[in-house]
Each structure stands twice: as C-alpha cells, then as structure tokens.
Amino acid sequence: MQVQEMAKKTVADIDVKGKKVLMRCDFNVPMDEDCNITSDDRILKALPTIKTILASGGALILMSHLGRPKGQRNEKMSLAPAAKRLSELLGQEVIFIEDCIGPETKAKAQSLADGECMLLENLRFHKEETIKDKAAKEDAQLRQAKDDFAQQLANLADVYVDDAFGTAHRDNASMYTVPVLMEGKPRVIGFLIEKELRFLGEILQNPERPFVAILGGAKVSDKIGVIENLIDKVDRIIIGGAMAYTFLKGRGKSIGQSLCENDFINKGQKLLNQAAEADCEVVLPVDHDVTRELKAGTPHRTAVGDIDPGYQAVDIGPMAIKAFSKKIADAKTIVWNGPVGVFEIPPFDRGTKAIALAVAEATDNGARSIIGGGDSAAAVKKLGLEDRVSHISTGGGASLEFLEGKKFKCLEILDEQ
C-alpha cells in the first residue's frame, strides 16, 4: 500500500483524557551561535496537535531530535531553547527534562498531570536513536541496544503520536521501534502529518492539469526515482540546477566546468527517452549564468547553449527564466523540489527567485502548488510568498521520497481509520 493511500487515525479519533501521550515532533529548528532560535516555524506547525492533546486532558511528553550530535551530548544542540519557546507560545510552562531516558525521566513522566507538557532532551544524544534497522538485523548487539533505548521511551506513555513528517522516511528508534513496541496501545498521527499526506497524496492521485513538476538541486542521482515515478503522472518536468548539466552533456552540449554526474549520463538519456514515449515534456535551460569562480561578487556572464571551458553554470539564464516561467504560468498543479541555481550566493539566486514568483502567480490564478521543503521552501519564505502557495512541506527528504512513491514503514504500522 502506498503512503498516499493510507487513511490513518489522528489525535482527533482517540480519547487522551487521563492518559500519558508520547509525541514525536520535529523541533529541529535553526539556531545561531548563541543558541537563539532563528526560525520557530517547526514549533508553530506542531501547535495544533499539541494544543488538542493538552485541551483534551492528555499529559503530553514530547520528543524530538536537533542537528547531528552523533550520539554525544552537545549543549549547542540542546532542545532547552525549544522548550522555552514552546512555553511562550502555549502560555504555560513546558517542563524540560535533561535526558530522554533514565530513572529521572521516567519519574517525571509518571508524575506529569493531565494538561501538563514536558519536552525530553535531544534523542540523538543517544547513538541508539539512529542505528539503522539493516545494521540492527545484522548485529544482535546493536539490535538489543536499539530495542532497550526504544523500550524506555515506549514505557513512558499509553498513547503514541507521530507528527514529525521531516523524519518520516527514517527508521530512527523514536519513529519506528517505539511504536512497534507500543503495539496494542493507540498509535496515531498528528495534524501536521495528516496535512502532509493529504496534500501530497491528493496532488499525485487526482491532479488538475496541466500538472508541472519543477526539479532542481545538485544531483541527478538524488532525483532519478522521482523523475521515474512522475513521468507517467505529470505533463511537464522542468529541470534546473546543477542536475540539468548531466542531461545536457548527454545531449552533446559543452558544459565547461559545470557539475556533472558522469556515471548517470546514460541513465539521464534513458529518462528523457522514457518521458518522450510517455508524452511528458522535459524542459531544460537554454542559457546559463556562468562564472569562473563560485563566490559572492565574482564576475559572471550569460552563456547561450554551450558553456566555454573554465566556466561553470551557477544559475539559469534570462531566456531560461522566461521559458520556465511560461511553462509554469498555465499549470493547475505544481510540485517544486530544489533550487535552479546556487541560491545561497547572490546574484546566483535570481533564477530560483523567478521560479518562486512564477509558482506564486500560478497559484494566484487557481493552481495548487506544493513546495517540497529545503531550499525551495527557503526561497519562497525569503520572498514572503508563503501565503501565495498552497502548501510548504516540512520535510525536504521525506517529500522527495514520497514523490518517488516510496513507502514509509513508520507510518504504515500506525492505526488505520
């Protein structure tokens, strides 16, 4: 069964009054050097589920990861600032626990009153959180360590809620092993995941046409599965970013020093042939913003067609911007994942900004648009266009795997409607 076909129970379908509720959320928020949160967007998006559980009389135990501490305690990656910010947003104290397992954590969870909320410290301070299932199957010691860690978390509560779409494609202990160990107890999704599944599912199952996919980023290898899955579903695939040059080189174009995955040139041409057979139009850039050195303020120019030796493409050119925008303008369904240039270094963000504006204008004209997290979401937010797109996904990697048609086993095991 594909993820998009699932009808999962949500927190609205169960009674949490008088129960301990363990909720996996995604508080992987960006912070500055002084550990100040620079965007609380992920905390804000968890609020509907959190408020519903608290208002319904549940005692809420929140767990999340932050960054990649690699199984070591790292104060720069503590969730304490997230607890503070959540307290402000809820208007009530969120009790912060300095570990996610252990006797003190268990005692605090047991004493938590109905309507109270606590946040556990970063799950990834324990290496057991990120032990891969494949490794655990091959190594009994690793499997036992992961199970022991997950069991301590599972023992904290009567109900499991998953509202962390950003990690829905991972087999982390908190995402998969914990709900497996809580079999027989209610295991449901929160409103954020419900919204993600609804938008992504509906857009793939029942798109209004023309259906346009915009794919960018550095690597073709990251997007091959997505392209293969979308060829029979969309009317047009617009390809920008460094990944475009693997396709262009395969078509015999000179690409200078532009990034190219030579091992995927043949696969890229096969995908273009598949698309042609499926009557799916593929749009590649016809001109490029090129430079000799990738850094802010460096001289750059436009190259039409071939790129001279010593130069690399860092953005789509003005003709490509115009062509891409025209192909987006009449769309009724749009999926966008990945920037079309080196978005983080101005002025090589010009193409990505233009795409963001084109998607917003198409949405204004009645299109449904989904932004697949990551840099494309950052572009939309930076331009203040959040309210002019239909949905911005909270999970870049997760939304990408969803578009590939991959199954999310951590969601499959949760309770069906």
Would you name the residues annotated as active-site residues?
42, 219, 374, 397
| Environment class of 116 (CB within 10 Å of its CB; exposed 0-12, middle 13-18, buried 19+) | middle
* 388 DSSP 8-state letter: G
- H or E segment to which residue 60 belongs: strand 59-63
Q: What are phi and psi of 62, to 5 degrees?
A: -95, 140
Q: Are strands 59-63 and 20-24 parallel, antiparallel or unpaired?
A: parallel
User: For residue 270, what are its two tokens?
Assistant: 């096969």
Report the length, in residues, of the chain.
417
Q: Are strands 312-316 and 287-291 parallel, antiparallel or unpaired?
A: antiparallel
- State the virtual CA torsion across 39, 45, 49, 55 in degrees, nearest 10: 60
**Are 176 and 410 within 8 A, CB to CB?**
yes
**Are 345 and 294 within 8 A, CB to CB?**
yes
